[in-house]
Amino acid sequence: MTIYEYSGVNDITGIQYFKGLKNLVVQSPLILFSQLPAGLRSFESDTSAAATFSAPLPDTLNALKLYGGNITTLPALPSTLNILVLNRCRNLPALPALPASVTYLVAAFCPSLSTVAPLPTGLLHLDLGYSPNISPLPAFPPGLLYLNLSSTSYNPTSFQASLDTFVCAYCSNITALPNLDPAMAFVDVNHCNITGLGTAPATMIDYILTANPITTINTLPDTLMEYLRLDSMPNLSVINIDSIYVGFGFSMNDCPNVSGGGGLPNIMQNVHVVYNPQNYNGGISISANHDNINWLNTFNAVIDSIDLSYNPISYLGGEGYINPYYTPYCHTCCSFQNTVFNLSHCQLTSLTSAFFDYGNYTAYNVDVSYNPLGSVGEVPVVTNQLIMSNCQITDFQTSVTISANYLDLTNNPSLACLPFLYNVYNLYTNGDAVNCVANIPTGSFNSDMGLTVCQAGNSNGCPLSPQTGGIVFNDTNANGYINSGEGPLPGFYVSMNPGGFYRISDNTGHYTFECQLGTYYTITGLSTLPYRRVTTPAYGAQYTGFATDTFHNIGIYQQPDVNDMEIFLTSMEQPRPGFHHDYFLAAWNEGTTVENGQVEMYFDPALLYQSSSPPGVVSGNHITWNVTNLQPTAQFSALVDFIVPVPVPLGSTISAGVPARGYWCTHCATHPIPPRSITTTPLPKLP
């Protein structure tokens, strides 16, 4: 049972009568009670408003957790107690002798705690972290597995063989870390004064040495199943490690004196991935920003993310983030397409695509902002985000094609021309000199400047994108060529393959496709309408550079003077007494002449007319609409709203339709819809 602070309950003095209650959590310091139920196994309470804890503890209690508060003494502890947690008990001065049954003890963030009685010999977990005034520290039981003495005066000279985890962050007395026992798996000694390291086990899980004045590292575990952290070490300059295997992540940020042979310390050149079943991505995270790394070549690792920002890196080698010789466990189980690269604020003057790419795998995010790139001749293929802002870009060479969901080119004031954009959906060019794009990519496309496609009059001399297009025209003589007097036809489909792309000719008959460099395309006119046929053959097109081709015109021959109207009437829902019932009417000009006339609909006298859009003229149970200048292939439509009266008996037939002469052309072929009969049904029964 959990009683929350915001539950409104402030008195549970009858809680002792809950005889079957095993676990109780009281999160509000204002809740009153005087006795706990017999048989309780676990009790957790916020004691921040209490000076004492007076409620007697049942002799069945296994776990007691008290958080915060002003308590100065503890109640009598039962001999069954196994877990004791005293967190942020700021006024507790002493920890008395504990029952021999206690195996798990936390007395953390207790600044007044100065005395700790001898600990139970069976204790396995001890956390006295951030209780800095304990003096002397108690003797540690022989089988202890976990020890946290952060922000205390502890300074170890050796470790007992049983210890699995040692945490002593902000322990200023530690100047040298002793040899670690082979069983040690977790070590966190960040923000100490360590200058020397003892030997380490061959395999560990986490090793955290952040913010220590270490100058040289000669020993590290061969394998870290999770993390190695060497951050904020301004004195570190030498790392004499041949290689290391890391399961989740390696970080070495803010180490300005680390440069190493050839620009990288050996440890950076030889960080391998270790097979860790918990790491489902299969790759590791490497972070080494604000160091002194000046060039990159290869990494023998499967990398999930890499942050090398704020380094004087000026050169990228090839095939930089995956070395297949070091991925024997991950060749079928891992995804390499989620790699994130941060190389911002470096000194790169060029980009090497092979550094970001390996085989068929591509990067997910790449940030190379604030690099002096100048004229760009190579750009990595990125599946999501490519950030090249503030890069002093002057131009993209004509061979460059950019593929990225999100492309940020802001604040490159000398950049006036963009390369071909492929699969770019969000483009940002604020602060550039760009006023048009080489092409508008297929699909959804957003730009912060509402850019248009570069044409002869607005391209500022930029190369035009490869495009193909033309005009769909009325081929009156069916010869496949535009002749004098043959005008454009809007609303006709044109396809381009491969890709299954479609365009509809606009009001001027024009259509345009954006193409990829090097792909051979087939452009075909389509017409499924009666009385019409395509007169031009399919076109082939292939582009090796930027070009705009507008000569693929599509001819449509239309049989002259055909009057043909097709009228549809559709019921929008099942009629029900007492509810609205709508009909949708559509009149489509399938002929080849402009039509003017009337559309008429009749409806069942039992229906109550409400409205129609557009409005029509109602007379009895007939509605008439006047329609003028209905172009070939165009459609007139109306939505008509009725109410089925409540008295209409269930099972009645409701009819509506288009009369036999309900079209306006006495000389046209038509397909009138017969009366539509729908039987009303009972309303569903409520449950």
Whether the pLDDT of residue 202 is over 70: the answer is yes
Mean pLDDT of 427-455: 77
In a domain, 72, yes or no: yes
Which amino acid, one-letter code, is at 288?
A: A
In a domain, 510, yes or no: yes
Q: How many residues does the chain have?
A: 687
In a shared domain, residues 95 and 193: no
For residue 448, give Cα distances in angstroms to 161, 169, 392, 435: 63, 47, 20, 11
In a shared domain, residues 351 and 478: no
In a shared domain, residues 79 and 120: yes
In a shared domain, residues 396 and 483: no
In a shared domain, residues 554 and 572: no
In a domain, 172, yes or no: no
In a shared domain, residues 554 and 570: no
Phi, psi (5° rounding) for residue 584? -115, 125
In a domain, 684, yes or no: no
Rg (CA), the chain: 39
Q: What is the CATH number of the domain that holds 592?
A: 2.60.40.290
Mean pLDDT of 460-488: 85
Peptide bond into 498 cis (omega under 30): yes
Q: Give residue 643's Cα distance to chain centre.
A: 48
Q: What is the pLDDT of residue 100?
A: 95
d(CA 515, CA 527): 23
For residues 19 and 519, which has the higher predicted lDDT (pLDDT)? 519
For residues 50 and 516, which has the higher predicted lDDT (pLDDT)? 516
d(CA 610, CA 251): 71
d(CA 369, CA 310): 11
All residues at 6 or more sequence positions from 450 whose CB lies less than 8 Å from its CB, including other chains: none
- Domain end call among 136, 154, 172: 154
Split into its structural domains, the chain has a count of 5
In a domain, 166, yes or no: no
Q: What is the CATH number of the domain that holds 125?
A: 3.80.10.10
- Domain end call among 418, 433, 460: 460
In a shared domain, residues 128 and 45: yes
Question: The domain containing residue 636 runs over which residues?
Answer: 564-679
In a shared domain, residues 675 and 593: yes
In a shared domain, residues 136 and 209: no
In a shared domain, residues 341 and 211: yes
In a domain, 404, yes or no: yes
pLDDT classification of 99: cutoffs 50, 70, 90: very high
Whether the pLDDT of residue 47 is over 50: the answer is yes
Say if CB 409 and CB 373 are below 8 A apart.
no
Per-residue pLDDT of 111-167, as tens digits, reads 999 999 999 999 999 999 999 999 999 999 999 999 999 999 999 999 888 899 999
**Count of alpha carbons within 13 angstroms of residue 485, beta-carbon side:** 2
Both structure tokens of 240: 């004499």
Per-residue pLDDT of 280-298, as tens digits, reads 455 677 888 888 877 766 5
Q: What is the pLDDT of residue 440?
A: 73
In a domain, 174, yes or no: no
Q: What is the pLDDT of residue 651?
A: 75
Say if CB 503 and CB 512 are below 8 A apart.
yes
Q: What is the pLDDT of residue 319?
A: 44
- Domain end call among 558, 576, 600: 558
In a shared domain, residues 119 and 5: yes
Q: What is the pLDDT of residue 358?
A: 55
Per-residue pLDDT of 401-436, as tens digits, reads 788 889 999 999 999 888 878 778 889 999 998 888
In a shared domain, residues 221 and 349: yes
Whether the pLDDT of residue 361 is over 50: the answer is yes
Q: What is the CATH number of the domain that holds 524?
A: 2.60.40.10
In a domain, 348, yes or no: yes
